[in-house]
Structures are given as C-alpha cells and as structure tokens.
Amino acid sequence: MSVRAQWPMIGKLIDWLKPNDYERDLAFLEKARGEEMERLRAHVRGRPEDLRWLVGREPGSTELLCHMLDVTGIDEDKVPPKTMRELERTCAGCTAKLHCADEIGHGRAVQSFKDYCPNATTLQNLQR
C-alpha cells in the first residue's frame, strides 16, 4: 500500500507543497534584466541573490501564510505591505512547513503557532 493510500492527508500535504511553478519562476528570474530586475528587487527590498534564494525555497509558503493569517484572525488586507513582505520572506525560509500545514489542517494552528512559527511574534503583534 502506498503512503498516499495509507495516509491521504500526507499525500495532500505533499501535493500542496510540491513545486508547481518553480522552474518557470527561476527561468523568468534568470531572464530578468534592467528595470524589470530593479522592480523585482525593490519589491522584496533585497539583492538579486535574495530573489534567487526566495525562488529556490520550497513552494507553498504563500498559501500557508494566507491560511495562518486566516486562522489567527488577521485580515491580510490590513497588514502593511512592508510587514507582509517580511512575513512572506520569513515564511519562505521556514523549515517547519510540513508541521505548519499539519497544524492548520487539523485546526490546531491557532493554539500552537507560537511554538514553531518564526513569524509568531509578528503575528501576535498583528492580532492586537
């Protein structure tokens, strides 16, 4: 019996986190030059190397962050753009994505995110 058949939730998590647009994004980034690269760099407030690092991270960060904002009662539209970029950047580099997805999927994230989420302090400040 396959892992997906035995534990369907694990299969869903794998599908959710698997690369979907990574190759396309990396190719776009490699071709970006001049104004386009500057616009991207300004958006993330980093160097071209930072952009490559962000693209190279595991996918699923944006979805996890959106779900985390939702379960913690934070309106994404009210998060200041600079803060949102920092949340996204931190989430992209997080090593607890599977744990995070599991906690969200089982409805425990609102109680437990403080224990594993590198964005916990910012999320708690936004909840106030």
DSSP letter for 128, please. Answer: -
Asked if residues 25 and 55 have their Cβ atoms less than 8 Å apart, the reply is yes
The full set of domain ranges for the chain reads 59-128
pTM summary value: 0.59
pLDDT in tens, 14-45: 555 555 555 666 666 666 666 666 666 666 56
Sign of the CA dihedral 50, 25, 16, 42?
A: positive
User: How far apart are alpha carbons 29 and 55 in whole angstroms?
Assistant: 8
Tens digits of residue pLDDT in 58-100? 556 778 898 999 999 999 999 998 899 889 888 888 888 888 9
